[in-house]
Amino acid sequence: MTAFTGAPWVPTGKKTVQLMLEIANVGSGDVVFDLGSGDGRIIFAATRRGAKAIGIDINPFWILWCRLRSLLYGFQDSVKFLHGNFFDHDLSDASVVTMYLLQETNERI
């Protein structure tokens, strides 16, 4: 696996996260993927709305942190955090994909 940085980590505000999920009408039938999931705030918010959610991040610290948080929150059955480059993962199960990346990465997607 080659190193890839789609964007620096910048936390998305809670209001913005809620608005994103409202616009996408995320609910219990959805599978949400967050590309470059960082601290998992979008994944956990989607899960609170009833969705299954998968975060993908290249930073192993964030993956470990989010996996620990999912155990603490009791969300281990509805979330998954994958380490690696999101270009290397199958997103075909997604009903919603969220991302907050650099323009060049968005164009590549």
Residue ranges of domains in the chain: 27-108
User: For the segment 88-102, what is each residue's pLDDT rounded down to a tens digit?
Assistant: 899 999 999 998 776
Q: Over 80: is that where the pLDDT of 6 sits?
A: no
pLDDT of residue 4: 53
What architecture is the 27-108 domain classified under in CATH?
Answer: 3-Layer(aba) Sandwich (3.40)
Enter the pTM of the model.
0.86
- pLDDT recorded at residue 13: 86
Q: Are strands 96-99 and 79-83 parallel, antiparallel or unpaired?
A: unpaired
Give the tens place of pLDDT for each residue, 7-46. 667 778 899 999 999 999 999 999 999 998 999 999 999 9
In this structure, how many other beta carbons lie within 10 angstroms of the beta carbon of residue 89? Answer: 13
